[in-house]
Structure 1
Amino acid sequence: MQAQAGALAGIKVLDLSRILGGPLCGQILGDHGADVLKVEPPQGDDTRAWGPPFRDGVASYYFGLNRNKRIQFLDLSTAEGQQRVRELMAQSDVVVENFKVGTMEKWGIGYEQMREALPHLIWCRVTGFGSDGPLGALPGYDAAVQAMAGLMSINGDADGDPLRVGLPVVDMVTGMNAALGVLLALHERTRSGLGQLVDAALYDSGLSLLHPHAANWFMSGKVPVRTGNAHPNIYPYDVIHTGGAPIFLAVGNDRQFRLLCDYIGQPALAEDARFVTAGQRSVHRAALKPLLTQAFARRDGQELADALMAIGVPAAPVLDVAQALEHPHTAHREMVVTMPGGYRGLGTPVKLSRTPASYRHAPLSEGVDFLPD
């Protein structure tokens, strides 16, 4: 795609982070026009080795998080590397880092050490648990935070073990929250002229994902349990097997349920006292699911999902990753990006009408300094 100015054109970001949360934040900012220079240690970001698959010795994991950045390799444990980073900070609007708490301070380039000299600088710190408190400064990892934040306890089959969500959801949401915090700080700086610290912790982000389970517990005092694919508050909001591929039904109100029942030739279900309201359907889900499964048993899943969507009943076939990425609507929404050199990656989900995202630098492209003003 041809380069666009972007909503963040003119903003200079120094990305000192590695692994996932920080690099994703930097990629989001870069996609929307910021000039992002990523500093990696001489051996490179750890995720360069997180494969297979690999291309030219670099893992796909790294490719997925480091688009629209130029790379500089520096050893920040040396006086020369520290001086170079000070110079780069002076040119920057935003710093993103996720070092272990105290590391940058040990090197003399921490937030408190730099903010007097660079009062305009927005400093985004991504940590596991924050810098203080009972767990402060401890290292944090996505799966461990999923466990501690209660996410694993409500994920998985009702009669199974607690289950990690099958993607690094805490790391990714932390990266998004970090980017959101940077944008808030940039907006506030237009009034005050001052930067500030953006504190994005995996632990906080993990807890923030607990809706509606936290809301349920606050009101009822009942500890949420695993419900498999089913929603804890709504039914039918679940995977239902068919004569072909399974589908996911997401029936959120009484009207949708009546439309469903009419379509499958079971209008009496919508009048059954056990199922007539959303609350009753949720209470009596164990009775409702086998009735729906029986009604779907001779139907093709894809055709059924398409037909239900057409009449206003939310439903979808359960696709694998390849099917999802090759879906015509994925292409229509520009959610797969291709760039010279064989790069393919996920597009940005944030679409702006006047200042759209652009894809200018494939991962691994290198540069020495920021673009000139």
Structure 2
Amino acid sequence: MTSPTTSRGALSGVRILDMATVLAGPAGATLCADHGADVVKLELPDGSDALRHMQPVKEGIPLWWKVANRGKRGITLDVRKPKGRELLLSMLPSFDVLVENFRTGTMDRWGLDIGTLHRINPRLVVIRLTGFGQSGPYSGRPGFARIFEAMSGFTSLTGEPDGSPLHCNFPVGDAVAGLFCAFAIAAEVARLRGDPQAKGAEVDLSATEALFRVLDPLPVEHEQLGQVRPRTGNRTSYTAPSNMYRSADGLYFSLVASSEGTYLRLCEAVGKPQWTKDPRFATNPLRVKNMDVLDAELSSWFQARPFHEISARLVECEIPFTKVYTIEDIKADPHFIARESIIRLPDPDFGSVPAPCIVPRVSGREMPKPRSGPAVGEHNSEVYGEFGLGTSELSALRAEGVI
């Protein structure tokens, strides 16, 4: 093994103009910035992006913005104004990718339809990330993460069987759509790099479809078995045992014993060798069928013992399990510490701020730590200067509310 060397990343040389707001589209562009893309974040001059006003906020400073838009240069531009549109179009030949998430048809109304964009830059990749896509009866509807989650079927799977479906206290739908956005950018960049004559593309990314895409078995189990997958609390309906358990000292932990070998070791761990011969538990389908009995037995064993004793036994028998971590647990865990899973982003307000590390890691390559997300219009002079605009021109545009 050789020591890692600082790298500009696999997406070095790729220039992305991020016009998207809030989280999903910007998250995709941020993932690309993590791997070397030059991402310019475009906002309205009034700094009205909702993420700048969303908790957590400290002393008026938006903390989520700082980590969600890390590694980007920030400019302001009102593309709805004629001079703003003109300036955007003049810059587009220098960009490889444009990311936007306005309601379907909005860019067209601003005179920024796909035909115009591709006339200006035939190799431009335009990522249109909307709630429901560019076509279909819902294409013009507004959407947020919880709407994508509920409509995709995701939320129907969370919660207790006799209770309400539950949302997570984090916009999972935005995060998943952001991953698909980054994947789409990387895929299109790979295509263009492989063919100098290739044309750009219009990518129609529906956040609802992105979340539905990860729920692979739902359509096939419904068609072939007539099943609608239910809410099962912390259990799963496809393997057992798999649940959240509680120790005698009140700690909750998640345990999964999906494979046959793992189940046999679990029987050893909890001192129940007879379960290996029990006809109710002989196969995974039988364990799923009889999970009430199996879970009751396991819960009883766990609730009679402190977590340190349970943990030692499960580790000894190589059972997949973990205490349910909070951010405090993550920060204190020796594995996260050893891998430097939390990195510090240089920041002008706080010196530095903590954020998750760059994912994935590539052997022999060490990426520089990105800077925190930009202030409103922080890089106007720098970015517009690259396009030949001087101080007097920028002042005039600022006075007109264009930047």
Match of 2:398 in 1: none
RMSD over aligned CA atoms reads: 2.2
Give the counterpart of 2:371 among 351, 361, 366.
361
Give 2:131's match in structure 1, choosing from 125, 128, 131: 128
Contact 1:7 1:355 in 2 (8 A): no
In 2, Cα distance between the equivalents of 1:217 and 1:312?
35
Residue 348 (structure 2) pairs with residue 345 (structure 1): no
* Match in the other structure for 1:319: 325
3-state DSSP class of the match of 2:383?
coil
Q: In structure 1, what is the Cα distance between the partners aligned to 2:108 and 2:20?
A: 15
The structure 1 residue matched to 2:306, chosen from 282, 285, 300, is 300
Letter in 1 for 2:159: G
Secondary structure class of the residue paired with 1:203:
helix
Q: Say whether residues 1:330 and 2:344 are aligned partners.
A: no
1:280 maps to 2:286:
yes
For the pair 1:233 / 2:238, whether they are aligned, the reply is yes
Which of residues 65, 68, 87 is equivalent to 2:90? 87
Alignment TM-score, normalising by the size of structure 1: 0.93
Question: Helix, strand or coil for the counterpart of 1:7?
Answer: coil
Counterpart of 1:243 in structure 2: which amino acid? A
User: Secondary structure, in 3 states, of the residue corresponding to 1:291?
Assistant: helix
Partner of 1:223: 228
Q: What is the match of residue 158 of structure 1?
A: 161
Deviation of the 1:214 alpha carbon:
3.7
Code of the aligned partner of 2:136: G
Structure 2 matches for 1:17-56, cutoff 5 A? 17-44=20-47, 45-54=49-58
How far 1:354 moved relative to its partner?
Answer: 4.0
* Residue matched to 2:70: 67
Contact conserved, 2:100 with 2:127, CA < 8 A, in 1? yes
**Secondary structure of the structure 2 residue equivalent to 1:240:** strand
**For 1:18, what is the secondary structure of its paired residue?**
coil
Q: Distance in 2 between matches of 1:179 and 1:280?
A: 41
Query: In the alignment, which residue of structure 2 is the partner of 1:103?
Result: 106
Indicate how the Cα distance of structure 1 residues 111 and 335 shifts in structure 2: closer, same or farther if over 3 A, else same: farther
CA–CA distance in structure 2, aligned partners of residues 78 and 371 of structure 1: 20
Assess if the C-alpha contact under 8 Å between 1:247 and 1:305 holds in 2.
no
Comparing 73-82 and 9-18, the one that deviates more: 73-82
Distance 1:370 1:158, change over 3 A: farther
Query: Size of the alignment, in residue pairs?
Result: 372
Deviations 1:201-221 (A, max 9, x none): 111012113244444323311
Contact 2:130 2:207 in 1 (8 A): yes
Distance 1:288 1:68, change over 3 A: same
Q: Specify the code of the residue in structure 1 equivalent to 2:253.
A: I
TM-score between both structures, scaled by the size of structure 2:
0.87
Which amino acid in structure 1 is aligned with residue 126 of structure 2?
W
Deviates more, 1:95-104 or 1:13-22: 95-104
Deviations for 1:237-294, whole angstroms, at most 9, x for unmatched residues? 1112221312211101121111111122111122111112111111100111110111
**Does the aligned pair in 2 maintain the 1:122–1:198 contact within 8 Å?**
yes
Amino acid at match of 2:299: T
Contact 1:254 1:276 in 2 (8 A): no
Asked whether the 8 Å contact 1:335–1:349 carries over to 2, the reply is no
Q: Is the 8 A contact 1:13 1:26 kept in 2?
A: yes
* Deviation per residue, 1:116-171 (Å, 9 max, x gap): 23111111111111111121222121111212122221110111111113321111
Distance, in Å, in 2 between the alignment partners of 1:360 and 1:370 is 21
Matched with 2:396 is none
Q: Does the 8 Å contact 1:37/1:370 carry over to 2?
A: no
- Matching residue's letter, 2:311: A
Question: Residues 214, 169 of structure 1: CA spacing in aligned structure 2 closer, same or farther, 3 A cutoff?
Answer: farther
1:332 and 1:213 map into 2 onto residues whose CA distance is: 38
State the 1:33 CA deviation.
0.5
Pair 1:125–1:356, CA change in 2 (3 A): farther
SS at 2:221's partner residue? helix
Other-structure match for 1:268: 274
Q: Note the alpha carbon deviations across 1:3-44, whole angstroms, 9 max, x for none.
A: 631111111111111101111011001010011111111122
Pick one of 112, 117, 133 that aligns with 1:114: 117
Structure 2: 5+ residue stretches without partners: 388-403
Counterparts of 1:191-206 in structure 2 under 5 Å? Answer: 191=195, 192-206=197-211
Identity %: 28
Q: How far does the alpha carbon of each residue in 1:40-91 deviate from its partner, in whole angstroms, 9 at most, with x for none?
A: 1112222110024325x23222123100001001112111211221122111
Which deviates further from its counterpart, 214-223 or 26-35? Answer: 214-223
Residue pair 2:134, 2:204 contacting (<8 A) in 1 also: no
Offset of residue 2 of structure 1: 9.8
